Amino acid sequence: MTQDPPAHRAPVHSATPARRPTLRDVALLAGVSTKTASRVVNGEAGVAAAKVAAVQQAVGKLGYRPNFTASSLRRLKGRTAAIAAVLEDVSNPFSSALHRALEDVARDRGVMIFAGSVDEDPERERALIHAFIARQADAIVVVAASDSQRYLAGEVNAGTPVVFVDRPPVGIDVDAVLVDNHAGAAEAVHHLVAHGHRAIAYLGDLLSIATARQRFQGFKEALSDHGIRPSPDHIAHDLHTEGDAQRAVRRLFSGQAPPTALFTAQNLVTIGAVRALRELGRHHEVALVGFDDFPLADLLQPPVTVIAQDPSTMGRLAASLIFRRLDGEQWTPTVHFVPTRMVARGSGEIPGPYATA
């Protein structure tokens, strides 16, 4: 910008929008140095009352707002009071509950949240994280989609707190807040078996997702605890949308020897399964336990039994780890497990052929 705009027109309602006023403008108008203006704006002591007044008046007149970015460049090593949340999809209930929990903790400290959706795309995960790093996020919360996050080693080493949520870090050593997917899935299976089921189908998300693998593992092992070997026909992986799940369930019941119970390993899969069962008119015969709770699960017919995760607690825990690190506390990276909780609502208690009662 070589040619300046005609200096200081009417500060309000000018046709060509004036650039944002800077501290220099304020200082000029108040007849003090920028440093003194800075002192006043930051409420530092040791400024004559008259100048304080002059500066405050200038601030008001110009509508000055401090540039926090520039300020933080000088202030503390460029901390920006912003943390990044790399989520699966800001608009899905799990992610957004997590997001909200982070925000709630961050709010008290005047920290803002950058959020972005990865959509299970490893490429996008990297791109997002790099964008956040470039913007100097003070810390990063990651729900990982890629199969290795070694690329984050530099950041971790540079002292940027990183916390993985829901899915374990691979290739780097950082804090994680996880769910015991294995145990949760096993609990679902035990519950179904206890209600007289042996032909239990597994419907799960992309096998590329660590949590999906763990849930499947828990499913298999729990079955084998009961001496049950699952039929390969009763296992469907890589279901990532409601539609996928719906089709998979239709397929299950169009085959011979359909299952008497379903274990759905994820949110949308559960909903897709509910849709399909409803469509088939079998929602009151086929038992269903889903992993991950969802709004209105209690209002469906039958109400859906779930293994509930607690994204809110997970988010709060993740945030507190972040802030403890930012406050200088140190410890060796740790995995924190947040327990799951089975919520029996009805669909999981539909008796199977081996029911004793």
Partner DNA sequence: TTTGATCTTGACATCGTTGTCGGCGGACGA
Partner DNA sequence: TCGTCCGCCGACAACGATGTCAAGATCAAA
- Closest approach, Cβ 21 to DNA, in A, equals 8
Q: Specify the amino acid at residue 249.
A: V
Contact indicator for 169, 149 with CB cutoff of 8 Å: yes
Judged by beta carbon distances under 5 to 8 A according to partner kind, the member of a second copy, DNA, none in contact with residue 57 is: none
Would you count residue 132 as binding a second copy (CB under 8 A)? yes
Residue 317's contacts (CB-CB under 8 Å, 6 or more residues apart) are 177, 336, 338
Would you count residue 253 as binding a second copy (CB under 8 A)? no
Would you count residue 237 as binding a second copy (CB under 8 A)? no
CA angle 269, 272, 274 (to 5 degrees): 110
Nearer to DNA by C-beta: 55 or 223? 55
Contacts (CB under 8 A) with a second copy, residues 300-319: 300-301
C-alpha 48/C-alpha 138 separation (Å) is: 36
Judged by beta carbon distances under 5 to 8 A according to partner kind, the member of a second copy, DNA, none in contact with residue 237 is: none
Report in angstroms the alpha-carbon separations of 82 from 13, 91, 165, 209, 212.
Answer: 33, 20, 18, 28, 31
Residue 150's contacts (CB-CB under 8 Å, 6 or more residues apart) are 170, 171, 172
Distance between terminal CA atoms of the chain?
Answer: 83
Judged by beta carbon distances under 5 to 8 A according to partner kind, the member of DNA, a second copy, none in contact with residue 34 is: DNA
Binding DNA by CB under 7 A: which of 42, 157, 332, 356? 42
DSSP codes of every residue in 292-343: S--TTGGGSSSPPEEEE--HHHHHHHHHHHHHHHHTT------EEEEPPEEE
Binding DNA by CB under 7 A: which of 23, 144, 176, 177? 23
Would you count residue 171 as binding a second copy (CB under 8 A)? no
Interacting residue ranges for DNA, rule: CB under 7 A: 1-2, 19-20, 22-24, 31-36, 38-39, 41-42, 45-48, 50-51, 65-67, 70-71, 73-75, 77-78
Residues that bind a second copy (CB under 8 A): 1, 11-14, 17-21, 63, 65-70, 72-73, 77-78, 80, 82, 89-93, 96-97, 99-100, 103, 110, 112-117, 130-136, 153-155, 157-159, 271, 274-275, 278, 294-296, 299-301
